[in-house]
Amino acid sequence: MQIGLDELISMLLARIDSLTVESETQKSRFNIMFRMLYKKGLFSEEDAFSAVKDEHLILHELGLIKDMPDDQAIKGAADNLMLWVKGDVETIRQSLEDYDRRLKEAMEEQNKPKIDVAPAAVLNELDRLGGQGGSGKKLII
């Protein structure tokens, strides 16, 4: 059984889409649970800081991260976590806008060439029109 590149890419994209939906569903469930626990007073911002620090310490001791982040970076991560738990929409929106702006700036700086992939049928047609009768393949740049 042969499978075309376009079919393979379609299957992979469908799988990525399903994983994305699953991930978003899981994040939503965790957000709901953490909001309930926070509103009941079962954890605080200090608890979030401590948990983030513990997580990084474990990752560092396992060798999964090279350096332990400083307390300011850990506080930033804990604060971002608490923004979601508290549901601070305006601050989250501003953070997302800042992130998008920085991402666009980084993308503009790269200016790397793009690689376009043509379906096999198009390449075969180009070979046929090129007079090679489909026996040879060409790299099109």
Is 131 domain-assigned? no
On the question of pLDDT at 140 being above 60, the answer is no
pLDDT at 141 (0 to 100): 54
Residue 133 lies in a domain: no
CB 139 within 8 A of CB 126: no
CB 59 within 8 A of CB 65: yes
Is there a domain that residue 126 lies in?
no
Q: Is 36 domain-assigned?
A: yes
* Amino acid sitting at position 69: P
What is the number of domains present in the chain? 1
Q: Residue 22 belongs to what domain range?
A: 1-41
- The reported pLDDT for the residue numbered 136 is 56
Does 70 map to a domain? no
Give the integer Cα–Cα distance in Å for 63 and 61.
Answer: 5
Residue 2 included in any domain? yes
Whole-prediction pTM value?
A: 0.58
What distance in Å separates the CA atoms of residue 139 and residue 123, rounded to the nearest whole number? 9
Cβ-based neighbour number of residue 13 at 10 Å: 10
Per-residue model confidence as pLDDT tens digits over 69-93: 999 999 999 999 999 899 889 998 9
